[in-house]
A and B are shown apart, each in its own frame.
Chain A
Amino acid sequence: MKNAIPILTVLLALVVIWYLAAIGMNSAWVRDQAARAGTELTTTELVKQTLTLERPVLPAPHQVAAGLWDGVAGQKITSKRSLVWHGWVTLSATLTGFAIGSLAGILLAVGIVHSRTMDQSVMPWAVASQTVPILAIAPMVIVVFASAGITGLLPKAIIAAWLSFFPVLVGMVKGLRTPDAMQLDQMKSWSASGGQVFWRLRLPSSMPYLFASLKVGIAAALVGTIVGELPAGASAGLGARLLSGSYYGQTVQIWAALFAAAALAAILVIAIGRIEGVTLRRMGLVR
């Protein structure tokens, strides 16, 4: 907790910079309005007006906070203006896709560790795929599924699954390979079967790697879902909220959706961190 004070200081500095930037970036518009109305503005009035615009270039932190509060608590949860509702749409697709993608990644990793052919065939492509902006396929997946009559959760979940699949695969292969020759020899001298080596040595020692890659995977899954909500026609989800905000110049709405997405990402990553902590502690692998 000795980091609390530095972190708070930096955050405070960021908020101050944000306010100054908001005043600076919005002042041109305010001055313009005043000149058109033929009125002179005092500095206090100028500052006051820049921080209360309806469609500011950069909304001030308190405006974003108000927008966020209004979206989370000010609406009925079933309302289309509720951020909780949009967040749930995004979250459900993210979690579905993440579950599919990480499960597939883990299974394939098990196969790769046990089959040299699979290792040499699949691994180079899995590693290379991380240098490729896979996210670019998102709009196509959405449209192709829509033309087949499938909309809603499934296409987005597939993008999320695809994005979380590769990090989990690569991390899990690395994890399953951590036992060194000495440990493997030890298992052999106990004449352990292949299954025993896997369940009692490889799988437990892969856990730290698995959780590290799950964190990367769920963040990627969320980004994938949000981008999957961008193509025209999507009306639900945080991505759609971003897009409609950018169409209608509703900057406060964009920022509120952005912060909601950030909060969602933080909650997901922290949740996995918690599960990681509990699991590793029960396994005696406390760090």
Chain B
Amino acid sequence: MKVLKLERHANMLIGLEALAGWLAILVTGLLISPKLAPVLLVWLCAWIFNTWLARFDTRLTRFLVALIFGLTIIALWEMIVRIYAIPPLILPAPSRIAASFVANIPLLWGDFVQTIVKGALTGWILGGAAAVLTAIAIDRSPFLQRGLLPIGNFVAALPIVGIAPILVMWFGFDWQSKAAVVVVMVFFPILVNMVAGLAATDRMQRDQMATWAAPYGQSLWKMRLPAAMPFLFNGLKITTTLALIGAIVAEFFGSPTTGMGFRISTAVGRLDLPLVWAEILVAAIAGSLFYGIVALIEKKVTFWHPSQRNQRG
């Protein structure tokens, strides 16, 4: 009991310390600029509320804490832009970005289809399929594996986006060149993961298949491919972001008059920053959705894997 009491004292002390720290920030902020008062006040209130909420540590409160933090940031952004009258040429307020988003939905949808669906998704599927097939092909040759894997690991760290101008020259301005960039970008990370996955069975499992006299095809289909799925999905998840980056950046080197990269570069040129931010919002939503859908498929496919059981938070 005594220990518990001591601990509570310590907790309170830490709480007081933190509070003193926040008060210090508040005072310095006010000394720098009195106009900051409401901003600091909102920040402090949200933070204290979050500190209180974080103690419960359940699924719901965790979600709420993150949500409140995000909303607070947006609120502070809006307040700062208004208080200091920051021109939208430098930083538009969230309300203006939202207005631009709503006003330009058909335009944004067209860009989304051009860049994400045609460019990124096509390239990602083609690149992923090519990587999986290559992995299965070199799986039977340890020599090729030892040669290809270090190169694959090395290439995965290179700034592959740089090939975009070359592929734009070869495949033209439309989505085909963007898909080609994405194919090259996602190929090596998926290949490396898939090769590791195909090697993920242990000796006992392989011996079991050999005891049943399973031919290569069967042991591949029934044992090694399922065993490789967690690795494959790891690679697929990493590359969702790469696919979007490849498709958007490739449009900086030339594109038809639609597409997210094209819109970003031309809207920046016209200093229409609310539209740029709206486009970035679309990219953020698309990126999270893309990742989320792949993670969901992973959950269905690899339901047996330990990392999918009893998940918390």
Contact B245 A135 (CB under 8 A): yes
Which B residue's beta carbon lies closest to that of A130? B241
How far does the alpha carbon of A246 sit from the alpha carbon of B248 in the complex, in Å? 17
Interface size class of B (residues with CB under 8 A): 35 or more
Those of A224-263 within 8 Å (CB) of chain B? 226-227, 230-232, 238, 242-243, 245-246, 249, 251, 254-255, 257-258, 261-262
Interface size class of A (residues with CB under 8 A): 35 or more
Q: How far is the CB of A41 from the nearest CB of chain B, in Å?
A: 23
A1-39 CB contact bits vs B (8 Å, 1 = yes)?
011001111110000000000000000000000000000
Contact A242 B165 (CB under 8 A): yes
A contact residues around B277 at 8 Å (CB): 140
Given the known interface contacts A215-B157, A222-B159, the answer about A133 and B248 at a Cβ–Cβ threshold of 8 Å is: yes
Contact B143 A57 (CB under 8 A): no
A223 adjacent to chain B (CB < 8 Å): yes
A contact residues around B280 at 8 Å (CB): 136-137, 140
How far does the alpha carbon of A206 sit from the alpha carbon of B193 in the complex, in Å? 24
Which A residue's beta carbon lies closest to that of B50? A117
Which B residue's beta carbon lies closest to that of A265? B158
A182 adjacent to chain B (CB < 8 Å): no
Contact A140 B273 (CB under 8 A): yes
B contact residues around A119 at 8 Å (CB): 54
Q: How far is the CB of B101 from the nearest CB of chain A, in Å?
A: 15
How far does the alpha carbon of A133 sit from the alpha carbon of B273 in the complex, in Å? 18
How far does the alpha carbon of A249 sit from the alpha carbon of B244 in the complex, in Å? 26
B109 adjacent to chain A (CB < 8 Å): no
How far does the alpha carbon of A128 sit from the alpha carbon of B50 in the complex, in Å? 19
A151 adjacent to chain B (CB < 8 Å): no
Given A122-B69, A238-B162, 16 more contacts at CB 8 Å? A6-B145, A7-B151, A9-B143, A121-B69, A125-B70, A130-B241, A131-B292, A132-B284, A133-B244, A133-B287, A136-B248, A136-B260, A136-B280, A227-B249, A231-B252, A242-B165
A-B contact pairs, 13 of them (CB 8 A): A6-B145, A120-B62, A120-B65, A131-B291, A132-B284, A133-B245, A136-B280, A148-B90, A215-B157, A231-B265, A257-B162, A265-B157, A265-B159
